[in-house]
Amino acid sequence: MKVYFVSLGCPKNLTDTEVLMGKLVAAGYEITTKPAQADMIIVNTCAFLKTARDESIQTIKEMAQWKKRGKCKQLFIAGCLPNHLNSSFRIPHSALGVDGAIDSIGLFNYCTPRVKATPPWYAYVKIAEGCNNYCSYCLIPSIRGKLKFRKAADIINEVKGLAKRGVKEIIYIAQDTTAHPALAQLLSKTAKIKDIHWIRLMYAHPLHLTDPVLKVIAKEPKIVKYLDLPIQHASDKILRSMNRRYTRHFLEALITKIRRQIPQIALRTTVIAGFPGEGETEFRELLDFIRWAKFDRLGCFAYQREAGTPAGKMRGQVSAKVKIKRVQQAMRVQARVARELNNKLIGQTLEILIEKAAGGVYIGRSYMDAPEIDGRVLVNSKKSLSPGEFVKVRIKKARAYDLFGSTA
């Protein structure tokens, strides 16, 4: 039987899809990249926000059309949406043309079969599952459950296997990567694996970022000087309402310490605009912090009200119009910051991971860019370059989110 997969949502969901594919291949199924050829379709869904749920349901409906056309006999859903439907409200599977749900949420080990869905040169490695933070806006604990860790030795065995398959960049992910008690040791051991060139850390909760982790990032050349540190806001009032359990002062001290210990660090963050109770004063505090912190990368998202969360019941809900305006305002502030920082890179030589050729140039990433999230480096080269190749590039031009250069 041929199976077609659709994987929606975050990289954590993608690793679950890879494991599902691996288990089916081990059981004798064949993966196809064309839904028209599939006997079975599986949609691994996201349910983190209403927009994600809407996308999941729309995708399921689109895939159900292949059943109506003949060859495909079965349609299954997996991931967060089935858990969310069971815990909050129900849409009958039959109404969506779905035959059933597959449990894809959980931890696996290095022996678990896996079919990589990312390009050959990088891989996501999930080190934990679930979350104990209970931020007031977030459904993750109710969907993914309480925090569970993989053992460091098991993770290292998985990375060694990936290195043998040609993977050069390891990206550690979890709902809360810095909550892993052996993270510093894990990073240090990963750096000793011969064929791994870059090690990247995503989803680092500010409250759980320890000095030993910072020290190993600073010390090990293979660990890229990049940290994804979602702060969500910078107003003490809003941070309390979000149940983030830290203050603006804490964030200022943490960012100052990180930059002192790792001067070349590229900091990425996410913030939420329009959270309940956010007035002009609180929003100005956020903008002031963005200007002060000078994050290399920042994403701003409008708050989405979620049934089943404490924030969904809070007073002071902000109108959609104001939320959109604030997101745009925050991103304009960040664009000025990003342009200023990128202009300082002109004349420098950076190591770039080439990912593809397009329009007569090569497109790649620096250590400051996570795949499919951050900016790009457009590279001119007289010699032919291959995807997955690391090259030295002299930066000649910069925009807010992209760099331009030539091979050195």
pLDDT digits (tens, 9 = 90+) for 194-234: 999 999 999 999 999 999 999 999 999 999 999 999 999 99
113 in any annotated domain: no
Query: SS in 3 state form for 322-378?
Result: HHHHHHHHHHHHHHHHHHHHHHCCCCCEEEEEEEEEECCEEEEECCCCCCCCCCEEE
Are residues 269 and 372 both part of a single domain? no
Q: Which are the contacts of 341, defined by CB distance < 8 A and separation ≥ 6?
A: 294, 296
396 in any annotated domain: yes
pTM of the model: 0.95
Tokens of 100: 């059933």
Residue type at 34 in one-letter notation: K
d(CA 397, CA 344): 10
Are residues 170 and 305 both part of a single domain? yes
d(CA 190, CA 170): 9
Are residues 17 and 51 both part of a single domain? yes
Boundary (domain end) residue, out of 102, 135, 150 = 102
Q: How many CB atoms lie within 10 A of CB 187?
A: 24
Report the domain count for the chain. Answer: 3
Are residues 249 and 381 both part of a single domain? no
Are residues 209 and 318 both part of a single domain? yes
Are residues 202 and 308 both part of a single domain? yes
d(CA 91, CA 193): 47
If we measure between CA atoms, which residue out of 19, 292, 282 comes closest to residue 150?
19
95 in any annotated domain: yes
User: What is the 8-class DSSP label of residue 312?
Assistant: G
Give me the helix-helix angle, 211-219 and 248-261, nearest 10°: 30
Residue type at 288 in one-letter notation: D
114 in any annotated domain: no
Are residues 239 and 307 both part of a single domain? yes
> Residue 29 sits in a domain of what CATH number?
3.40.50.12160
Boundary (domain end) residue, out of 299, 326, 343 = 343
> Residue 364 sits in a domain of what CATH number?
2.40.50.140
CB distance 250 to 206 below 8 Å: yes
If we measure between CA atoms, which residue out of 264, 334, 275, 266 comes closest to residue 299?
334
Residue type at 285 in one-letter notation: E
Query: SS in 3 state form for 172-214?
Result: EECCCHHHCCCHHHHHHHHCCCCCCCEEEECCCCHHHCCHHHH
> Residue 132 sits in a domain of what CATH number?
3.80.30.20
- pLDDT in single tens digits along all 408 residues of the chain: 999 999 999 999 999 999 999 999 999 999 999 999 999 999 999 998 989 999 999 999 999 999 988 789 999 999 998 877 665 444 555 567 788 898 888 899 999 999 999 999 999 999 999 999 999 999 999 999 999 999 999 999 999 999 999 999 999 999 999 999 999 999 999 999 999 999 999 999 999 999 999 999 999 999 999 999 999 999 999 999 999 999 999 999 999 999 999 999 999 999 999 999 999 999 999 999 999 999 999 999 999 999 999 999 999 999 999 999 999 999 999 999 999 999 999 999 999 999 999 989 999 999 999 999 999 999 999 999 999 999 999 999 999 999 999 997
Q: Pairing relation of β-strands 2-7 and 40-45?
A: parallel
CB distance 210 to 184 below 8 Å: yes
115 in any annotated domain: no
107 in any annotated domain: no
CB distance 104 to 5 below 8 Å: no
Q: Which are the contacts of 388, defined by CB distance < 8 A and separation ≥ 6?
A: 119, 120, 121, 166, 168, 353, 354, 355
Are residues 353 and 338 both part of a single domain? no
Are residues 323 and 239 both part of a single domain? yes
If DSSP codes are grouped into helix, strand and coil, which group holds residue 300?
strand
Are residues 155 and 195 both part of a single domain? yes
d(CA 145, CA 105): 9
Are residues 83 and 163 both part of a single domain? no
Are residues 237 and 143 both part of a single domain? yes
45 in any annotated domain: yes
Boundary (domain end) residue, out of 343, 377, 397 = 343
Cα Rg, the chain, nearest whole Å: 22
110 in any annotated domain: no
Domain that holds residue 249: 122-343
